Amino acid sequence: MSYEIIEKLKKTLGEYDNKAEWQEIGTVTEVGDGVLRISGLEEVKSQELIMVETEKGEVPALALNLEEGAIGALLLGEDAGIQSGFRAKRTGQILSLEVGEEMLGRIVDPLGRPMDGRGEIFKNKKPVRYFMERKAPGVLDREGVKVPLHTGIKAIDSMIPIGRGQRELIIGDRQTGKTAIALDAVINQKRDKGRKLPVCIYVAIGQKESKVAQLIKTLEENGALKYSIVVVAGAASPASFWYLAPYAGCAIGEYFMDRGDDALVIYDDLSKHAWGYRQISLLLKRPPGREAYPGDVFYLHSRLLERAAKLSKEKGGGSLTALPIIETQLGDISAYIPTNVISITDGQIYLESDLFNQGLRPAINAGLSVSRVGSSAQTKAMKKVAGKLRLELAQFRELQAFVQFASEVDEATKKRIKRGEILTEILKQEDLKPVPFEEQVALAYAATNGYCDDLKRQEMGEATKGLAAYLRDIHAKTLEKIAESGDLAQETEELLKEALKAWHR
Amino acid sequence: MKIPPKIYAKVFAELVKDKNPEKIEAMIKKFSALVAKNGDIASKEKIAALAERYLRETDGKHSFLIETARNLPEGSYAAILEKMGKGEYDVKKMVDENLIAGVKLTVDESRELDLSLRGILKNLFD
């Protein structure tokens, strides 16, 4: 083994070309709270990597504020051991990270370094480097969002459908099930046959390490980790990592999109991302605006989310779907950051604490939730049943006041209220149990065509489970036909009707 | 209002330029008293370093720091200076054993040429 080491050293030394060049240097004048002020380095570029020489080695920093005679830089490592008077050198490189297929199944930090203790990520091939900040695809490079991204959640896939290349915001108070929805979406991808398996990237920003560890365990147990990548900037990470993590996740997703693959990136959550950016901006003495956020906090999120796209066939046909998460305080969706992100995204899934506490889980407020892509991102089969479902639920919501006061109502209204209650029960779903879209179509068909009308409300939960199991076990071929064709053709509809009649008896 | 060290340094450099040595001493005393009065005495080292730099730039000189791993004979320093070509240099010498061998040159605290063995090893294994 020592022979191999010697030979490797000889080869490295033989290939080494010692071209010493004049390098631009600066001096650290101030350091503290993860931010440096460096004098000199007059030719440095914005977002360029700077290396600070310390006794323990070099520490990277990111040039953010380019002022006359000095630079404000963000430390990308520990600031312990950095003193005023230390030298800083330019690297000439804009911040980027290594990306590649080898990242699948790995846990990395925002600089692309492994955190899972499984050693180097890129052992064999030299990896590609992608810039953290990249220009979003232009209008001509895109095409319309038409391919569905099934989350496995009945309420979402039927009424708030998400397409590949869309940005759909998940917004709600703490502990309302936002991360659970994102997790179900990731787990469901392996069950969604007939479409390419997308690479899933989960970006944890400011999350508790225990929560992230639990999430990774859940992904692993459900066989989803092998097509996922987790980027972690935990609660104990410096604000610079909170700031960079979403851009790192996006860059990884863009690598797969540019290859013609589909990717899904979840930013959990962008509220903490905005807090981190506010902290950095205040330390860099940038002028504070509303709620002490810097003036470009909208641009912080718009330039990130615009990079999600469905590329045209000429550009490879790949897609990057974004599911940003925003945490509201006391249900206030009219606050600064939530309204910013709502105006950027192509729709939102609004989760309410009241609905959660009432037992309606997922606690989706269908009235305030919307998908601006709509039925373009649904299969033909789902389109046929979802329209009726949405309409009947909307009618039920209008009539809910009567239900509360138990007033005398006519038969038609009673039927509508009953139908609405049945649909509400059908749309309830347990955590980590995504439902394949063909089953969702069958369930929605059963509910909207009266096959469940004579069931009592308290029986619905068990009845739904029973119906799903019955269709899976006895009429799997019918479900397969729906899954393969994506349509509810007349022949398939007849088969489904027969199956439902037999179950109803 | 807090006055930046850069402004103090520029003013001082302008004041002492082309003055008699007797007048400069009196000027330095008055200048120090003014800085203290403004409450900026904590920045005195920064002001001094910047003033030195401005005075040097006014004279068309460059600061030149030669760092070596051990003390060299005078002839070696002269040879290095000759390689720098035209220009007036305000030379400072420093010994840093961490360089292991070779030499590191810094001009105007803004450009560096690392010809030390430590630098070569660092580039080799990075």
pLDDT in tens, chain A (505 residues): 678 778 877 877 777 776 778 889 999 989 989 999 998 898 999 999 999 998 888 899 999 999 888 899 999 987 778 998 899 999 999 999 999 999 999 999 999 999 999 999 998 778 899 999 999 999 999 999 999 999 999 999 999 999 999 999 999 999 999 999 999 999 999 998 888 999 999 999 999 999 999 999 999 999 999 999 999 999 999 999 999 999 999 999 999 999 999 999 999 999 999 999 999 999 999 999 999 999 999 999 999 999 999 999 999 999 999 999 999 999 999 999 999 999 999 999 999 999 999 999 999 999 899 999 988 999 999 999 998 888 888 888 888 766 666 667 788 888 888 888 889 988 999 999 999 999 999 999 998 888 888 888 778 888 888 888 898 888 888 898 898 888 888 889 998 998 888 888 7
What is the separation of C-alpha B30 from the centre of its chain, rounded to a whole number of angstroms? 24
The tokens for A96 are 């980027």
Nearest neighbour of A20 by CB, restricted to B46, B110, B113:
B113
Nearest-angstrom CA–CA distance, A197 and A342: 28
Total-model pTM: 0.89
Burial A335-351 (b: 16+ CB within 10 A, else e): eebbebbbebbbbbbbb
Which residue of chain B is at minimal alpha-carbon distance from A10? B124
Is the Cβ of A330 closer than 8 Å to some Cβ of chain B?
no
Nearest-angstrom CA–CA distance, B92 and B78: 12
Phi, psi angle pair for A489, to nearest 5°: -65, 165
Instruction: Give 3-state DSSP helix, strand, coil % of chain B, rounded to 5.
Output: 55, 20, 25
Nearest-angstrom CA–CA distance, A366 and A403: 18
CB-based contact A344:A168 (threshold 8 Å): no
Question: Residue A372 catalytic?
Answer: yes
Which residue do the tokens 């659970």 mark?
A180
Q: In a 3-state reduction of DSSP, which class is residue A448?
A: helix
- Yes or no, beta carbons of A18 and B123 under 8 Å apart: yes
Instruction: Give 3-state DSSP helix, strand, coil % of chain A, rounded to 5.
Output: 45, 20, 35
Instruction: List chain A residues with CB under 8 Å of B120.
Output: 18
Using CA atoms, how far residue A366 sits from A42, A157, A178, A348, A363, in Å, is: 54, 12, 15, 10, 9
Which positions ≥6 away from A76 have C-beta within 8 Å? A59, A60, A61, A62, A111, A240, A241, A244
User: Alpha helix locations (H) across A196-335?
Assistant: 209-221, 239-258, 270-283, 297-305
Sheet with A370-371: list strands edge to edge.
Answer: A107-108, A228-233, A199-205, A262-268, A319-327, A169-172, A347-351, A370-371
Q: In a 3-state reduction of DSSP, which class is residue A395?
A: helix
Which residue do the tokens 């069931």 mark?
A455
What is the separation of C-alpha A131 from the centre of its chain, rounded to a whole number of angstroms? 20
Nearest-angstrom CA–CA distance, A212 and A217: 9
Is the Cβ of B106 closer than 8 Å to some Cβ of chain A?
yes
